[in-house]
Amino acid sequence: MRIDVVTIFPEYLDPLRQALLGRAIDRGLLTLDVHDLRAWTHDVHKAVDDSPYGGGPGMVMKPQVWGEALDELCASGTPRLVVPTPAGRPFTQAVAREYAAQPWLVFACGRYEGIDQRVLDDAARRMPVDEVSIGDYVLVGGEVAVMVMVEAVARLLPGVLGNPASAEQDSFSDGLLEGPSYTRPEVWRDLAVPDVLRSGNHGAIDRWRRDQALARTFHRRPDLLDALPEGALDKHDRAQ
């Protein structure tokens, strides 16, 4: 998969080259190119923003600079353009899976009060454009949201995780939160590992884990239970 990111703070994205994703890049599973938006300015001040039409606080990113950047980056094909904004549709695990199936993503990081809407309207004439939010809170810019999304997408690419079963057992993959995990020692600060996990009875272990996931989801995210598809809960689940 190819990922391009356009930002006025390219070094902000450096952490994506660490650890698991760094290895995926080194192994050629993922190509990550980060571009400085100011490279497409023409004035001495390298201005990327201006005051908003209609008044109000803050600054809006200028359309000409973004237009030239996207024209040049997208000249060779049709990527999916992703624009992080708190005003976007929610980024979920389902969206991460959808992105992981794309050959090419371009992320356009806005700062200030966002990017002139015509940049997105114009791009949408040539490519799919998604405005997405990573949650109901406001960040100072799209860079950290892009890091979140790239990490969520990259770990789903074939070969990136050592053990692909990890992705299959994630929270959300079955619509429920994952339950608790334990490792040695058997007793730590007088707290014991639940007996069932040491029983060797894999049927009982699976049932226990499912019940833990259901209880945790019920308490922490009842909205997820309401959203489960018809038939997702069996009669043992409903007895919980």
Residue 153 annotated as binding site: no
Q: Which of 125, 137, 165, 203 binds ligand 6GU (CB under 6 A)?
A: 137
Strands 60-61 and 80-90: unpaired
| Active-site annotation holder among 36, 68, 113, 178 | 113
Q: Which of 134, 150, 160, 177 binds ligand 6GU (CB under 6 A)?
A: 134
Q: In the annotation, is 230 catalytic? A: no
**CA–CA separation, 40 vs 34, rounded Å?**
14
In the complex with ligand 6GU, the residue whose CB is nearer, 25 or 95, is 95
Q: Which of residues 140-159 bind ligand 6GU (CB under 6 A)?
A: 141-142, 145
Q: Which of residues 65-84 bind ligand 6GU (CB under 6 A)?
A: 84
Beta strands in the chain (DSSP E): 2-7, 31-36, 49-50, 60-61, 80-90, 104-108, 129-133, 187-188, 191-192
Q: In the annotation, is 164 catalytic? A: no
Which of the 8 DSSP states describes residue 31?
A: E
Residue 139 annotated as binding site: yes
Question: Under the criterion CB under 6 A, does residue 108 sit at the interface with ligand 6GU?
Answer: no
Q: In the annotation, is 211 catalytic? A: no
Q: At 27, is the secondary structure helix, strand, or coil?
A: coil
Q: Which of 29, 74, 139, 196 binds ligand 6GU (CB under 6 A)?
A: 139
Q: In the annotation, is 155 catalytic? A: yes
In the bound complex, what is the minimum distance in angstroms from residue 83's beta carbon to ligand 6GU? 8
Phi-psi region of 92 (alpha: psi -120 to 50; beta: other; left: phi over 0): beta
- Among 51, 66, 68, 67, CA closest to 113: 51
Q: Which of 67, 86, 175, 179 binds ligand 6GU (CB under 6 A)?
A: 86
Question: Tokens 């990327």 — which residue?
Answer: 48
Footprint of ligand 6GU (CB under 6 A)? 84-86, 133-135, 137-139, 141-142, 145
